[in-house]
Amino acid sequence: MRPTVHDIAAAAGVSLATVDRVLNKRAGVRKVTRDRVEQAIERIGYVRDVAAANLAKSRIYPFVFILPSGDNSFMRGLEAEVHAAMARGPLERMVISIVKVPAFDAEALVAALDEVRATAPAGVAVVAVESPEVIAAVNRLRADRIPVVTLVSDLAGSARDHFAGVDNVAAGRTAASLLGRFLGGRPGPIAVLAGSMLVRDHRERLDGFRAVMDEDFPGHTLLPVIEGQDDPVLTEKLVSEALAASPGTVGIYSLGAGNRGLIAALKQRKDAPPVCVIAHELTRHTRAALNEGLIDAVLNQDAGHEVRSAVRVLKAKADGAAVIGAQERIYIDIFLKDNLPFDEG
Amino acid sequence: MRPTVHDIAAAAGVSLATVDRVLNKRAGVRKVTRDRVEQAIERIGYVRDVAAANLAKSRIYPFVFILPSGDNSFMRGLEAEVHAAMARGPLERMVISIVKVPAFDAEALVAALDEVRATAPAGVAVVAVESPEVIAAVNRLRADRIPVVTLVSDLAGSARDHFAGVDNVAAGRTAASLLGRFLGGRPGPIAVLAGSMLVRDHRERLDGFRAVMDEDFPGHTLLPVIEGQDDPVLTEKLVSEALAASPGTVGIYSLGAGNRGLIAALKQRKDAPPVCVIAHELTRHTRAALNEGLIDAVLNQDAGHEVRSAVRVLKAKADGAAVIGAQERIYIDIFLKDNLPFDEG
DNA sequence: CTGTTAGCGCGTTCAT
DNA sequence: ATGAACGCGCTAACAG
């Protein structure tokens, strides 16, 4: 049997209450006694049974997820995953709630963070927007010893405990590598479609993409980045214009969420010479395009993984427990039409 | 507060013991009483607190992992992951042990399964070898109500509860798709290297690979499958011979674990015309070969994910709890030299 | 400062 | 067939 608090008490010659005070770092114990207890703990190799402790405390973990509102389909999928986590929360003594904030609005995000902080949750997950004020707000949470994980989009320079999302530089590098090899030496310029260069994720993807293109496939020139604001109509227009202006274009990297507009533009030039296309995020639109051969590969981040990972990390941090690094690394999934998963999307 | 057994007792007008008998489907309760209790449970929406139940029972979960012995790097990595799970087992009341069995040996596997069954574990994970006897042995475990999950290689036709591994047909399809596109029309035959056609995962990969090659890249002929038994020396010899016999070979698909031998063979023909190589499993050997350009892509199954998933599923099955399907799907990771993760391998 | 005691939600004797 | 009472490992009053 694993040693219990009783064993510590016996080994140290004190009562349970004293052991408990030492274990929970509460005041009211002489240093001598404390040392004796701590040595006993060390000696017999005690590890606390968190489940029993939670039972005794009737502890529940109130976690808050702060997500952007709006009709971005990736974010809506993310929200659905949070709802799924919410549903199975009670089984593990967790109560998850969602706070929505207008997308890309730092000011609103700061307000939400401070409001959430006032409710003293056991942990907060947030899709970050980069700004000094947001960093400060996150740091206020941390100052209150509230664990914070950034979700999908990180917040460099903040004191967040963890980032649950993919390495976007690596994603861009992968895109370049695939595109370059798929083209197999066929010369011609490459177009890049982004949502906005104001978001960190998009910038990082572009950086990674550029680096590998320059290094490994210097024969291709990159056309000026198209910023479609992730808006279908605008994107379609800009892409069509760009392709018309550079008829020799052989490849497109769509690193943002503007795939609907991109696909529409591609469909209109069915009989034109083929263009190799790499896009991000597996949605029903990109999945269909993949199957039709309009898109050649999709790089995806699994929102379900990200949410479950965020929850696990928040709980671990709340318990002061260790995190399994490898388990929490979110991989970039590469989908071709031949390895699409069956039921999602 | 969530309803407890006390609430049920009060609502049904019976004692705690009776409620417990109904909850655990034990005998000694009149049908009338039983019905009344069950209705109360339904009405107040009771869900059992598994943690508290386990505490009361001092329950521990003895799980057994049956793994192939031998010096295959992938399997050794898998074993390391099981050891990691072993180390953090006690925190969740689990005691994991490992039983090793010679690779590709159905008879030995059957003996091991029966021996393990005699110890009445709470669950068994096994890297399966396909044979009717193994299926029968697994079914004996299931007949004893012991949950079984197959790991890495599945056992079709058995009553196993779950398969913790990748979709190997899809893996083969993906390999073909990548290889075909990387070749970009350069003609020539393609060699296939396997370990043994006795394991299902290897057969499935080959099936998927063949299907896509035939359909999408009919210009390439497939050379006869080389079975290297995942043995480095034998593999190197067979591969060298095959390449010498078919000097025009443009691609190799290594679908088993014989990569060390393959890489050795590739190194000996450095100055020969380039061959596009797709292999399975990221190990330190394949990682190095990827960086050197000897291998073009590696399809990987994350052994850590598989082990953790197997453990989660076994625990859920042992508790009679639900499994989160999406969480337990093991994705096929595609690694190019540009998206290698940092610290593993 | 330290110890006693009564639960947390559930399972399990042992009586009745 | 049913119920009372104790214990699992831990925390939190309340005494002393």
- Every domain of chain A with CATH number 1.10.260.40 lies at 5-48
| CA→C1' distance for B294 and D3 (Å) | 75
Sheet holding B333-335, edge to edge: B226-227, B190-194, B251-254, B276-280, B297-300, B333-335
Strand, helix or coil for residue A257: coil
Intervals of chain B under pLDDT 50: 344-345
Q: Are B334 and B281 in contact (CB under 8 A)?
A: no
Strand, helix or coil for residue A329: coil
State pTM to two decimals: 0.90
DSSP A91-147: GGTEEEEEEEE-TT-HHHHHHHHHHHHHT--SEEEE-----HHHHHHHHHHHHTT--
B50's tokens: 């598994």
Which CATH topology does A168-300 take? Rossmann fold (3.40.50)
Tens digits of per-residue pLDDT, A306-341?
A: 999 999 999 999 998 889 988 999 989 999 988 888
**How many Å separate Cα B40 from the centre of its chain?**
42
A96 beta partners: A63
- Every domain of chain A with CATH number 3.40.50.2300 lies at 57-165+303-329, 168-300
Are the Cβ atoms of A181 and B177 closer than 8 angstroms? no
The CATH architecture that domain B5-48 belongs to is Orthogonal Bundle (1.10)
Q: Cβ of B174 < 7 Å from strand D? A: no
A243's tokens: 């392709």
| CA→C1' distance for A90 and C7 (Å) | 22
**Strand C contact set, beta carbon < 7 A:** A 13-18, 21, 28-30, 32-34, 52, 55-56, 58; B 1-2, 4-6, 16-17, 20, 23-24, 46, 48-49, 52-53, 55-57
Tens digits of per-residue pLDDT, A207-260?
A: 999 999 999 999 999 999 999 888 889 999 999 999 999 999 999 999 988 899
Residues of A in contact with B332 (CB under 8 A): 339
B342's tokens: 């940092």
- C-alpha distance from A118 to closest chain B C-alpha (Å): 23
Residue A45: Cβ within 10 Å count: 9
Q: Are A174 and B338 in contact (CB under 8 A)?
A: yes
CA nearest A47 in B: which residue? Answer: B91
Q: Cβ of A57 < 7 Å from strand D? A: yes
Which CATH topology does B57-165+303-329 take? Rossmann fold (3.40.50)
Tens digits of per-residue pLDDT, A112-121?
A: 999 999 999 9
| CA→C1' distance for A95 and C7 (Å) | 24
- C-alpha distance from A338 to closest chain B C-alpha (Å): 5
Number of A to B CB contacts under 8 A, please give it.
104
Task: Select from B47, B339, B340, B344 the residue whose CB has the most chain A CBs within 10 Å, as the one to mutate to test that interface.
Answer: B339
Q: Which nucleotide lies nearest residue A18, CA to C1'?
A: C2
pLDDT at A103 over 90: no
Residue B344 pLDDT:
45
Average pLDDT over residues A273-281: 93
Q: Which of residues 1-40 of B touch strand D (CB under 7 A)?
A: 13-18, 21, 27-30, 32-33
Contacts for B277 with CB less than 8 Å, ≥ 6 apart = B251, B252, B253, B254, B262, B266, B289, B294, B295, B296
Tens digits of per-residue pLDDT, A301-310?
A: 999 999 999 9
Q: How confident is the model at residue A343 (pLDDT cuts 50, 70, 90)?
A: low
Average pLDDT value for chain A = 92
| CA→C1' distance for A186 and C6 (Å) | 79
Residue A344 pLDDT:
45
Residue B343 pLDDT:
57
Residue B87 pLDDT:
94
Q: Which nucleotide lies nearest residue A15, CA to C1'?
A: C3
A202-227 core/surface letters (b: 16 or more CB in 10 A; e: else) = bbbbbebbbebbeeebeebebbebbb
Residue A345 pLDDT:
36
| CA→C1' distance for B31 and C16 (Å) | 21
